[in-house]
Structure 1
Amino acid sequence: MTTPWTRVDAVRTAVLAAVGAVVWAVGWFGVSGEPALEDQIAPMNLAVVGVVLIGIGYSSWFLAGRRAVGTRRRAVLALVPEVAAAPAPVGANTASTPPADGFLGSERLYHRPDCAMTADRAWEVEPRAVHERAGRTPCGVCRP
């Protein structure tokens, strides 16, 4: 497996950052030695170019690192066997019909018996009509 981070990337990053720092320093010293604003414009522009070069250098370093992580991630995921079917999320009810024995109700909501929100609760199972008459609304997790 080859890594996308090469010696060329390292040299490019170092050169851009070093040249940018030198250009910025020259511009900064140029601005600091001029008392008049109109004499500071050209050195200030030079300092801005130096900051841009530094930014390009470190951006190339960052992007090369992202490429390296992506390459390694793809290599690791290639080793993971395919899963035939992903398991259902916790608390998700894949059944399209409501349960025959009814729903569990809290003060404001009613839930399917297999809803994650009803775990370790001592609620009574009642038909949907009883919950709707009590003013309860369907749970947003299990969607009864």
Structure 2
Amino acid sequence: MEAAILAPAVVLLVLFVTLVGRIQSAQGVVDAAARAGARAATISVRQDPETAKQQAEDAMNAVLKDGGVSCAPLTVGDPTFRLDGPDGLQTVEVTIGCDVPVGDLLLLNGGWGHKHLASGFVSVVDRYREQPGRAAP
């Protein structure tokens, strides 16, 4: 009798704990994607801003794929280039938004809704990195 009453509550508790853990794990992957995107953009920003954006998107998609996070849709903000940072530092800021199906987080199929995960990262442009066709300063 008591097991019949407690079993559903225990199952719901386990599902809730699993969901919270999977959300944290997916957020970590989204954070890693933002870091990778910012770093990729800083490497190619001196060539062309459009190339930098494409490199950032490619790096973010690769990290999300490796982390097993499926975004529907993936929202990548335009990289923000700041050329007048403190001490003359040039920076690139990248933002990412991702709607993860909750059913995927619980390893279940079905329409359980979506959880929006967002992250951003700022990376400093390496002023001493060599550019193709140019000598280092």
TM over 0.5: no
**Whose radius of gyration is greater, 1 or 2?**
1
Please tell me the TM-score bracket, short chain as reference. 0.3 to 0.5
Higher-RCO chain (CA-CA 8 Å, sequence separation at least 6): 2
